[in-house]
Amino acid sequence: MVGITQAFLVTNMADFRRLVLVALLAGLLGGVVLSVMQHYQTLPLILNAEQFEAPENHHTHDWQPANGWERNGFTLLFNGLTGFGFALLISAGLYWHGHSNFQRGCCWGIAGFMVFFVAPSLGLPPELPGTDSAELESRQAWWLFTAAVTALGLFGLLLTQQRLLQIGGAFLLLLPHLIGAPHPEVSHALAPADLQQQFVLMSAMNSAVFWLILGATAGKLLAHE
């Protein structure tokens, strides 16, 4: 009995180390690609939008990394750590589901994109500097609630065969949007509307590529022989 327990622990530790290593590789790859895309696609839009802010407003901001290598370095670090965390979730999901390959990894990546970008962005789209928003705490709470119930909704709708759970999953997908995202009473943005729309589009494209890289890489590296 002791030998069986030890063998079980050794096997699970080996699987855990493999999951962490795969998540690290996928996260680094996704983080690097995302950072490059942001540098050439969304960063110029942010810098352009900052020009519409009043000069005195720049003194009220919290500390920000300087433009150049400092800003790029912090962006790469943040994206790499974020990619590692999300890739670990995908790797754990693939391991738990029992089947892993490139196609399944892409499906899990698309699910992550839906949970962590599409669903929250329907109520709180990415915003450029100079855009009025509701209080940070209320936006964070709605974002977390939306991501959580969307994940549960997709699980009930796609990963179960019970009709009741599928109906409940569909309801959960709609619930945050029936409640509604927090917004200020009067919305105002300094940047032009077309610049904001371009920023939302570029952010969506960057996020989609990021999540597909995470899912595809994790699925390929965890594929069973």
189 DSSP β-pair partners: 131
Return per-residue pLDDT of the chain as tens, 225 residues.
Answer: 444 444 333 457 788 899 999 999 999 999 999 999 999 999 999 989 888 765 545 545 556 666 677 778 889 999 999 999 999 999 999 988 877 889 999 999 999 999 999 999 999 999 998 887 888 899 999 999 999 999 999 999 988 889 999 999 999 999 999 999 998 877 777 888 899 999 999 999 999 999 999 999 999 999 864
With b meaning 16 or more CB within 10 Å and e meaning fewer, what string describes 34-45?
Answer: bbebbeebbbeb
Q: Cα 142 to the chain's mean position, in Å?
A: 15
pTM above 0.85, yes or no: yes
Q: How far apart are CA 218 and CA 24, in angstroms?
A: 10
Q: What are phi and psi of 131, to 5 degrees?
A: -100, 130
Reading the block at residue 9, the tokens are 């622990």
